[in-house]
């Protein structure tokens, strides 16, 4: 067995006194060995990031600090080290990569300069030698044309390239330990697959000890040698990947694993072909212009949605899947006319929705309601929940007493207490807010529900509950849904039909069962191949615990 590089010994980190719990992490004991990837998994607020940051000595505020325990790096207690010593250790022994490479890189310095600076502050090497090392490390993380990348600025690189540059920066001084805090969460699934492969490769080549923080069990199955599961500040399970995934000992781990949606869609609910069409979108087009100035200058045109044609039949759920920037959200906003399409026609039943305007448009909007992604931004923070849900019906002329009664009913329908009506949104958790958002959308008894990434901002266990709720309500009320998501696992759970979007176009469309079983378009195949942990389903050990692809 490899030697431990980092030993975390009964570490407790305090939170500020008015926090929701006294400790961010409590009594954590684990070790990180050379040449292994230890995945720390947990939902938001589990303390996994604080654990990672306490190794680096980077606490988010002076009130958050370690109150007990030790963090040993090769036997040296880092919690007792002086600030000067910590600066020496960071970068040379322990390095960190972050979730969002755009904000973790300095936008006004070139990539090469930023990496060089790391070498410089640790007092090494002549300028020529430094530049040599920068180019070497950029080549080692497989960035094409290192010379050019070294001169590029962060905004000139793609998300994946930026994350590679971050990894290069972390690795340039050959640290023994690499801490990766959700390094692929902000990336698209195909890019994520490449970055995971890269992290595995550099870890193998250099024998680095990697602590990989993530919330995504798909990623865990791809990359973990060992797994540590955290729940509200405590370590609940620690073990070899195969064992934790195959035979989880702790009920919380089991619950988390159960909540990960499978990639196989359930059998078709019904044959929708015979049903009447509810929504027919015909050659919808939307482009955005930017950069036009008072005195001319280049105008950049982005075609967000190009000639999209689709139809949803009564009671059907159509899933639009695609990576970020594929235009799927713009499509949803065009269909609901929150954004005016440039061209094309939207028929809702027998009504031409695109032809409506003014009062007729406002009256017709009740037939189509939206559920949004962000549980924090989608509810008016200054409005009580009951008033929020009743507002739509009141607007369309409902009697106030009946609107209030209906709001209470809806809160119960989405699994909340009717007393929630008297409270403000900030008193609810993310999952509960999403339920409120759904209740608000249902209040107008829409024919079509447009859900734009409704579960993407939620933790996996909450996500499973909200998905179940959506499916349940849909079946009970016979709702038709347009479901936008980037997550194929989620799409597999709720969608009857899938449309795959890339660069504003629908490249493939068909019944979910067929698309998941036999994707035809090369892009669809690529997308499916990139889904992490696809050979694994809950309750089974992954076939190959540490695949190097």
CA 505, 509, 512, 518 torsion: positive or negative?
Answer: negative
Residue 164 makes contact with another protein by CB under 8 A? no
Does 444 sit near another protein (CB under 8 A)? yes
Q: Which is nearer to another protein, 116 or 453 (CB)?
A: 453
Task: Confirm or reject binding of residue 432 to another protein (CB under 8 A).
Answer: no
CA dihedral 157, 163, 164, 166 (to 10 degrees): 110
> Per CB under 8 A, does 328 bind another protein?
no
Q: Is 366 in the site for another protein (CB under 8 A)?
A: yes
Cβ closest to another protein, residue 39 vs residue 443: 443
Strand, coil or helix: 248: coil
Cβ atoms of residues 440 and 389 within 8 Å: yes
Alpha carbon distance 435, 157 (integer Å): 38
Judged by CB under 8 A, which of 308, 379, 411, 500 binds another protein?
379
Q: Among residues 356 and 418, whose Cβ is nearest to another protein?
A: 356
> Using the rule CB under 8 A, is 480 a contact of another protein?
no
Closest CA to 92 of 74, 67, 112, 111: 74
Q: Which residue has the tokens 């629908």?
A: 506
**Judged by CB, which is closer to another protein: 283, or 429?**
429
Shortest distance, CB of residue 424 to another protein, whole angstroms?
Answer: 11
Cα–Cα dist 167/187, whole Å: 14
Q: Quick one: which of 120, 136, 205, 380 contacts another protein (CB under 8 A)?
A: 380
Q: Which is nearer to another protein, 59 or 153 (CB)?
A: 59
List, in order, residues 6 or more apart from 268 with CB less than 8 Å away. 496, 511, 512, 513
Q: Is 374 in the site for another protein (CB under 8 A)?
A: yes
Residues with Cβ within 8 Å of residue 497, at least 6 apart in sequence: 272, 312, 316, 317, 318, 319, 509, 510, 511, 512
Place of tokens 């698209």: 188
The 383-402 site mask, x for binding another protein (CB under 8 A), equals x-------xx--xx------
Q: Which of 372, 516, 523, 536 binds another protein (CB under 8 A)?
A: 372
DSSP string, 102-139: HHHS-TTS-HHHHHHHHHHHTT---HHHHHHHHHHHHH
- Per CB under 8 A, 303 contacts another protein: no
The answer to whether residue 364 forms part of the interface with another protein (CB under 8 A) is yes
Q: Considering the rule CB under 8 A, would residue 365 count as an interface residue with another protein?
A: yes
Question: Considering the rule CB under 8 A, would residue 355 count as an interface residue with another protein?
Answer: no
Binding site for another protein (CB under 8 A): 61, 333, 336, 338, 361-366, 368-370, 372-374, 377-383, 391-392, 395-396, 437, 440-441, 444
């Amino acid at each position: 067995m490899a030697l431990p590089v980092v030993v975390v010994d009964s570490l407790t980190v305090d939170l500020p006194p008015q926090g929701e719990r006294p400790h961010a992490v409590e009594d954590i004991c684990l070790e990180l060995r050379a040449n292994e990837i230890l995945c720390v998994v947990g939902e938001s607020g589990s303390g996994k990031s604080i654990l990672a940051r306490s190794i680096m000595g980077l606490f988010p505020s002076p009130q958050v600090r370690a109150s007990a325990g030790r963090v040993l790096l090769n036997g040296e207690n880092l919690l007792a080290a002086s600030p000067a010593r910590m600066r020496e250790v960071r970068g040379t022994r322990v390095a960190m990569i972050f979730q969002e490479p755009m904000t973790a890189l300095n936008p006004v310095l070139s990539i090469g300069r930023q990496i060089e600076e790391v070498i410089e502050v640790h007092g090494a090497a002549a300028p020529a030698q430094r530049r040599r090392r920068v180019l070497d490390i950029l080549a080692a993380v497989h960035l094409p044309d290192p010379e050019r990348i070294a001169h590029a600025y962060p905004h000139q690189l793609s998300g994946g390239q930026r994350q590679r540059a971050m990894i290069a920066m972390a690795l340039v001084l050959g640290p023994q330990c690499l801490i990766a805090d959700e390094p692929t969460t902000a990336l698209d699934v195909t890019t994520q697959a490449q970055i995971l492969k890269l992290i595995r490769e550099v870890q193998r080549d250099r024998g680095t000890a990697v602590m990989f923080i993530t919330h995504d069990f798909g990623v865990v199955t791809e990359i973990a040698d060992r797994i540590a599961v955290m729940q509200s500040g405590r370590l609940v399970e620690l073990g070899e990947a195969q064992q934790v995934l195959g035979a989880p000992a702790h009920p919380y781990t089991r619950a988390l694993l159960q909540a990960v949606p499978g990639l196989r869609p359930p059998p078709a609910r019904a044959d929708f072909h015979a049903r009447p069409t509810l929504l027919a979108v015909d050659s919808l087009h939307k482009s955005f212009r930017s950069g036009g100035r008072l005195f001319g200058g280049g105008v950049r045109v982005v075609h967000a949605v190009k000639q999209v044609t689709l139809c949803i039949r009564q009671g059907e759920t159509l899933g639009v899947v695609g990576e970020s920037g594929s235009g799927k959200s713009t499509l949803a906003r065009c269909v609901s006319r929150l954004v005016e399409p440039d061209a094309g026609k939207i028929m809702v039943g027998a009504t031409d929705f695109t032809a409506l305007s003014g009062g007729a448009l406002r009256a017709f909007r009740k037939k189509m309601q939206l559920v949004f992604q962000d549980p924090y931004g989608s509810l008016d923070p200054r409005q009580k929940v009951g008033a929020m849900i009743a507002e739509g019906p009141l607007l369309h002329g409902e009697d106030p007493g009946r609107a209030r009664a209906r709001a209470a009913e809806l809160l119960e329908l989405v699994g909340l207490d009717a007393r929630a009506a008297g409270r403000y949104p900030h008193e609810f958790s993310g999952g509960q807010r999403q339920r409120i958002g759904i209740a608000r959308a249902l209040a107008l008894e829409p024919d079509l529900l447009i859900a734009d990434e409704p579960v993407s901002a939620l933790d996996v266990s909450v996500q499973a509950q909200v998905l179940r709720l959506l499916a349940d309500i849909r079946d009970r009320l016979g709702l038709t849904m347009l479901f936008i998501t980037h997550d194929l696992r989620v799409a597999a759970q709720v969608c009857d039909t899938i449309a795959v979007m890339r660069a504003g176009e629908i490249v493939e469309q068909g019944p979910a069962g067929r698309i998941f079983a036999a994707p035809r378009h090369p892009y669809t195949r690529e997308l499916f191949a990139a889904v992490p942990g696809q050979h694994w389903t809950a309750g089974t050990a992954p076939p190959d615990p540490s695949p190097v692809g």
